Amino acid sequence: MSSNKNFKSINQAKGLEVGATVPDFIAKDIFDKIYTLSAAVKNGNIVLIFIRGQWCPFCNKHLTALQEQFHKIYEKGASVVVVTPEKSEFIKKTIEKTGAEFTILYDEDYKIAKAFDVLFLPSKMMRVMYNTVLGAKLKESHSDDTEQLPIPATFIISKEMKVIWRHFDPDYKKRSKMTDILKNLA
């Protein structure tokens, strides 16, 4: 593992701001289907949500609540895509736990989280807790052994590849709410 000095702390990650141009990305879903952001936004706004993984009870609660009402996002001409640093077999566990019917992408090498400036390295104590108490298996479930995680942020991305709304809070317990997402979809 690289020196921890090379990684951001939770307070150093700032997230893309409203008005920022979103960098294009390519990632795979659980079926190894290629997802390209620039192609997807042609069909409407994208609600992009970062989660930590299937081991995270707050992520599962958030996705379950989203699943119950995500049709309202589609009714507004937008779509939902979730990004996680977990590999496909772990994403399948997320789907089993939450009933998610929307796209969930594997963020290999944390490329998407880095581009959105939501990536950080939890403290050693937190990593031990995630791995032992919550069973995260971060070194096994991610593409490397650094144990970095995304701040569970939500971004609405326009057809012009701009951030038009965001929910960004380093407190993992505070998540975007469906009412705020719907209110901010054009």
| Type of residue at 120 | F
**CATH number of the domain residue 51 falls in:** 3.40.30.10
- SS3 state of residue 76: coil
pLDDT number for residue 1: 44
- Model confidence band, residue 4 (pLDDT cutoffs 50, 70, 90): low
Domain that holds residue 58: 4-184
pLDDT number for residue 2: 47
Report yes or no: 70 and 127 within 8 Å, Cβ to Cβ.
no
pTM of the model: 0.94
Q: How many domains does the chain have?
A: 1
| H or E element, residue 120 | strand 119-120
- Better-scored residue on pLDDT, 1 or 96: 96
- SS3 state of residue 180: helix
pLDDT number for residue 6: 83
Q: For the chain, give the percent of residues with pLDDT over 90.
A: 95
